[in-house]
Chains A and B, each alone.
Chain A
Amino acid sequence: MGISPVLWQFLERWLNNSALFPREASTIAPYMDALYFFLLGMTVVGVALVATIITVFSLRYRRSVHPVATQIEGSTLLEATWTIIPLGIFLICFVWGALLYFRIYTPPVNSMNIYIVGKQWMWKAEHPGGQHEINALHVPTGQNIQLTMISQDVFHSFSIPDFRIKREVIPGRYSTVWFNATTPGEYHLFCTQYCGTNHSQMIGTITALSPADYKKWTEESTSGMSLAQNGERLFASMGCNACHSGNAAARGPSLAGVYGTTLQLTNGAQVLVNDAYLRDAILNPSQHVTAGYSPIMPTYQGQISEDGLIDLVEYLKNLQTNYRVHQTLTTSESDQAAPITPGVSQP
């Protein structure tokens, strides 16, 4: 035809690479899309209805064919109709949406947990095995994965459109979301809460791998210590083991196996020991004193980063006995006599 082949090639490539609809790459995506199409259908019907009414009346009663208007006060029946029917439809939207919301924001038990720390302007993903990723996240398909997220500075928002999940990442408290990826591939990760200069550069790639590939990836990726091992190191170096030594007469309660239990506090409250509780207890200990103990724990606010807190939380999650605690206690106490490498300044 008259179109230059160059232009045609350009258009073709442009159109083929353009997106119109996100991929469905998680178990929840079809549910989200179903609700979307219902809402879309409702909108199309609603707009078509209004447009039809307006068009038909405008044509039928235009001045040139209907010069005299008939004064009509109203009709209670019609008012009731167009109050109740929209209300009914909106309530369906409400119920359906609420069910979906609870589904997305209630992680299944025994989900694999990955920590996400957001900061201006990057995402840090921390796998329990110690793999750290920046602006990337490798996950296995077919597995429930829970993200426990926190921000180091301002509000961010963790969004994976192809999985249809998103949650705000807030400073000062954990927020969680879960998903189950269905298809291996690479998917967009966006920060969707405006967070300053490089908000639009705070993006990354979610790589979903088949379980076998994921296993290979975890083995191959640089592993330093796992999060729990790092947490153990912190537990000793910050002096936690001095009070939380696990002895009966210790100043602080034993922390072995405390995760997931219900604790009685000195103020009479019963609390569930979860990630948020552990983090809060480290930063605001005076409000989280176990019954039978004195409020003498110092606060670590300002002395430990969110990454450090995650390490400690992960450590405590996995702490089943006090054996290692005792070990580190003795080790750190005997550290006093260790020789100093000449020329190195002490931390």
Chain B
Amino acid sequence: MSESTILNLPDQSTARVPKRNFITAEDGLLSWLLTGDHKRIAMLYLISITFFFFIGGAFAGLIRLELLTPQPDLVASDTYNKFFTMHGVIMVFLFLVPSVPATLGNFLIPIMLGARDLAFPKINLLSWYLYVVGGVMVIATMVLGGVDTGWTFTTPLSTHYLNTHVITTALAIFVAGFSSIFTGLNFIVTIHRMRCPGMTWFRMPLFVWSNYAASILMVLGTPVLAISLTLVLLERVFGIGVFDPTKGGDPLLFQHLFWFYSHPAVYIMILPGMGVISEVVSTFSRKRVFGYTAVAFSSVAIALFGFFVWEHHMFIMGVSNYSALVFSLLTMLVAVPSAIKIFNWSFTLQKGSITFETPMLYAFGFMGLFTIGGLTGVFLGSLGMDIHLTETYFIVAHFHFVMVGGMLMAFLSGIHFWWPKITGRMYPEAISKLAAVVTFIGFNLTFLPQFILGYLGMPRRYHSYPPEFQILNVMSTAGATVLGIGYLMPIIYLAWSLKYGAVAGNNPWQATGLEWQIQSPPLTENFTEIPIMDHEAYDYDWLEHKTKQEVTTVG
């Protein structure tokens, strides 16, 4: 055991990946496509969301390529509009929303709770199929010529003024939304009803708490998206007038309905990532998360408050000044629990024993970038400031900081952290550290200039721009190139590790948590017998005591 890493691999000359595990349990494509095993479903999700991530990323590359020059010279305006719409739709609905919950959450939550599976395995599988159907419909939209409403489907543009494939896309998101609802439903029931004996709420890992909060949002918020899209469809097909001022309707009604979901959606996206950070920071500091209860409650607080701030996306849309006051105040309140978490994670480092493996590097990246992203959110929640900054690149920079600098880094942190558990093999540490640093540098280069562009007034969704904005755009595109490389690297070395990576053993990180006490990869039934939880979460004393008494076995 070296001093600068806690990695503890079994003796590689004799170690083997266990022959009987959830991957080798059954053979054949159908055994995967008709599985009820939450771990296999998580794998299916991982493959699909990675696929969609790269499509969404390709669109991002095309956008940045066009924005190298002030003139609209690469593609036609309609095409460019389709680029950013597809980028948004794919990244939000087909990548970020399912990313951590559907892959890591699906895989880990039953194990972390000491259960054999989620409450409803068949619904879990249905969830994946709904996701795939939604994804295929989005691809169909692309193939048929694309959609250019923007991911926000603003009416009356989307209902009466475009002749692109709005209906297909709206239906696709409708279907994908149900995937999200069923995942959230499954998690909530599992967490309430399937904890093993001794696993009280406050002994659960914080990863479970975060996913629980996100699941509440998924279950209660997504149906409102469904009805918003349904109304857009009806308006588009039948011209019923619900959003049409000439018929007495109100286009602002759509805004309220849409943002009622889409604001909680951003918390759906970030909360599971925060759960990952809790696990990673605690493991690589070798101590319990500072202020466990505060972090747990702050997750639920974010979920709760998150439902009451949606109008902050509409401050300049002619809403009553007094309603704007209320929502601005609530927005400030929802910022506080996130601040609490950042400080709690920072202070987990105090008096810890810290190492800097790749998951920890990504976690540090998260903490810095999410702080910037979150604080710039306060800019936007402050009413007067929002007038100047809204609808500009400041917004774009803000949400990319929290979504990419925050959530995506957390996702990568989690993937690296639990990779040995999922696959039984270790990823290569040196190149993964390099990828983390490349990503961090690329990210900052891409999105920091966009804050400046935003204050200058460069509007978002612009195909062409005044020439004096060019230098910042060129910087941003340069950064995007670096960022793209940073994201390609893990694909390569993670795939490589499947065959050539070191055998990981049960607990390469020497972490607490029930998932680290079973074999890697786990058995289909997770546990040979249901554990009884007799210690607190992140109990490193218990772990030390246990490993002293344990004889390290092979394979």
Question: Residues of A at under 8 Å CB distance from B?
Answer: 14-15, 17-22, 31-32, 35-36, 39, 42-43, 46-47, 50-51, 53-54, 57-58, 61-64, 66-75, 78-79, 82-83, 86-87, 90-91, 93-94, 96-106, 120, 153-155, 157, 159, 161-162, 164-168, 170-173, 175, 188, 190-201, 203, 284, 301-302
* A22, B384: Cβ atoms closer than 8 Å: no
B368: chain A residues within 8 A (beta carbon): 47, 50-51, 54
Q: A72-B287, A94-B383, A194-B81 are in contact. List 19 more A-B contacts (CB 8 A).
A: A22-B456, A35-B382, A39-B379, A50-B371, A58-B354, A61-B285, A69-B353, A70-B352, A87-B336, A98-B383, A100-B387, A154-B154, A154-B157, A161-B456, A161-B457, A172-B246, A172-B250, A201-B77, A301-B246
* A194, B455: Cβ atoms closer than 8 Å: no
* A98, B459: Cβ atoms closer than 8 Å: no
B455: chain A residues within 8 A (beta carbon): 21-22, 36
Interface: B6 (CB within 8 A):
yes
* A69, B287: Cβ atoms closer than 8 Å: yes
* B251, A172: Cβ atoms closer than 8 Å: yes
Q: Which of B131-139, B190-198, B343-351 contacts A (4 or more CB under 8 A)?
A: B343-351
Q: How many residues in B have their beta carbons less than 8 Å from beta carbons of A? A: 98
With A97-B382, A97-B386, A193-B391 already in contact, the answer to whether A200 and B321 are too (CB < 8 A) is: no
B318: chain A residues within 8 A (beta carbon): 167-168, 170, 173, 175
B217: chain A residues within 8 A (beta carbon): none
* B321, A79: Cβ atoms closer than 8 Å: no
A42: chain B residues within 8 A (beta carbon): 375, 378
Contact with A along B325-357 (1 / 0, CB 8 A): 100110011011001101110110111111110
Residue of A nearest to B246 (CB): A301
Bound CA span A57–B284, Å: 13
CB distance from B359 to the nearest CB of A (A): 14
CB distance from B155 to the nearest CB of A (A): 8
In the A-B complex, the 7 residue pairs with the closest CB atoms: A161-B457, A100-B384, A172-B245, A97-B382, A101-B383, A57-B349, A74-B291
Among B246, B294, B346, B391, contact of A50 (Cβ-Cβ < 8 Å): B346
* A58, B356: Cβ atoms closer than 8 Å: yes
Interface: B372 (CB within 8 A):
yes
* A35, B252: Cβ atoms closer than 8 Å: no
| 5 sample A-B contacts, Cβ–Cβ < 8 Å, listed by A number | A18-B468, A50-B343, A63-B3, A90-B333, A200-B462
Among A19, A31, A46, A173, contact of B468 (Cβ-Cβ < 8 Å): A19
Bound CA span A21–B469, Å: 10
Interface: B304 (CB within 8 A):
no
Kindly count the residue-residue contacts between A and B in the assembled complex, taking CB atoms under 8 Å apart.
309
CB distance from A101 to the nearest CB of B (A): 3
Contact with A along B265-306 (1 / 0, CB 8 A): 000000000000000000001111011111000000000000
* B335, A90: Cβ atoms closer than 8 Å: yes
Residue of A nearest to B157 (CB): A154
Among B81, B287, B335, B344, contact of A199 (Cβ-Cβ < 8 Å): B81
CB distance from B393 to the nearest CB of A (A): 10
CB distance from A218 to the nearest CB of B (A): 28
Bound CA span A190–B390, Å: 13
Candidate in B329, B339, B540 with the most chain A CB atoms within 10 angstroms: B339
B364: chain A residues within 8 A (beta carbon): 54, 58
CB distance from B368 to the nearest CB of A (A): 6
* B468, A17: Cβ atoms closer than 8 Å: yes
Question: Residues of B at under 8 Å CB distance from A?
Answer: 3-6, 72, 77-78, 81, 148, 150, 154, 156-157, 161-162, 245-246, 248, 250-252, 285-288, 290-294, 315-318, 321, 324-325, 328-329, 332-333, 335-336, 339-340, 342-344, 346-347, 349-356, 364, 367-368, 371-372, 375-376, 378-379, 381-388, 390-392, 452, 455-457, 459-472, 540-541
Among B78, B329, B376, B388, contact of A43 (Cβ-Cβ < 8 Å): B376
A159: chain B residues within 8 A (beta carbon): 391-392, 457, 459
Bound CA span A78–B295, Å: 13
Candidate in A57, A69, A102 with the most chain B CB atoms within 10 angstroms: A69
Bound CA span A68–B540, Å: 11
* B372, A43: Cβ atoms closer than 8 Å: yes
B339: chain A residues within 8 A (beta carbon): 82-83, 86
Residue of A nearest to B6 (CB): A63
* B353, A61: Cβ atoms closer than 8 Å: yes
A53: chain B residues within 8 A (beta carbon): 343, 346-347, 349
Residue of A nearest to B161 (CB): A154
Bound CA span A203–B467, Å: 13
B336: chain A residues within 8 A (beta carbon): 83, 86-87, 90
How would you classify the secondary structure of chain A's contact residues: helix, strand, loop or mixed? mixed
Among B3, B157, B317, contact of A170 (Cβ-Cβ < 8 Å): B317
Bound CA span A51–B368, Å: 7
* A153, B161: Cβ atoms closer than 8 Å: yes
A87: chain B residues within 8 A (beta carbon): 332-333, 336
With A47-B375, A54-B364 already in contact, the answer to whether A100 and B385 are too (CB < 8 A) is: yes
A98: chain B residues within 8 A (beta carbon): 325, 328, 382-384
A203: chain B residues within 8 A (beta carbon): 466
* A193, B340: Cβ atoms closer than 8 Å: no
Candidate in A42, A68, A172 with the most chain B CB atoms within 10 angstroms: A172
CB distance from A186 to the nearest CB of B (A): 12
Among B5, B347, B388, B452, contact of A32 (Cβ-Cβ < 8 Å): B388
With A17-B467, A43-B372, A166-B388 already in contact, the answer to whether A58 and B349 are too (CB < 8 A) is: yes
Bound CA span A82–B351, Å: 19
* B541, A54: Cβ atoms closer than 8 Å: no
* B384, A69: Cβ atoms closer than 8 Å: no
Bound CA span A54–B277, Å: 14
* B457, A22: Cβ atoms closer than 8 Å: yes
Bound CA span A17–B472, Å: 12
* A199, B462: Cβ atoms closer than 8 Å: yes
* B317, A168: Cβ atoms closer than 8 Å: yes
B343: chain A residues within 8 A (beta carbon): 50, 53, 78, 82
With A20-B456, A64-B3 already in contact, the answer to whether A91 and B347 are too (CB < 8 A) is: no
Bound CA span A87–B383, Å: 16
Residue of A nearest to B472 (CB): A18
* B541, A14: Cβ atoms closer than 8 Å: no
B328: chain A residues within 8 A (beta carbon): 94, 97-98, 101
CB distance from B528 to the nearest CB of A (A): 30
* B352, A69: Cβ atoms closer than 8 Å: yes
Residue of B nearest to A14 (CB): B471
* A79, B294: Cβ atoms closer than 8 Å: yes
* A165, B387: Cβ atoms closer than 8 Å: yes
Bound CA span A194–B364, Å: 36
Bound CA span A299–B457, Å: 41
* A101, B387: Cβ atoms closer than 8 Å: yes
CB distance from A169 to the nearest CB of B (A): 9
* B469, A19: Cβ atoms closer than 8 Å: yes
Residue of B nearest to A175 (CB): B318
Bound CA span A199–B459, Å: 10
B344: chain A residues within 8 A (beta carbon): 74, 79
* A72, B288: Cβ atoms closer than 8 Å: yes
* B388, A161: Cβ atoms closer than 8 Å: yes
Among B371, B382, B452, contact of A94 (Cβ-Cβ < 8 Å): B382
* B384, A171: Cβ atoms closer than 8 Å: no
* B355, A102: Cβ atoms closer than 8 Å: no
Residue of B nearest to A155 (CB): B154
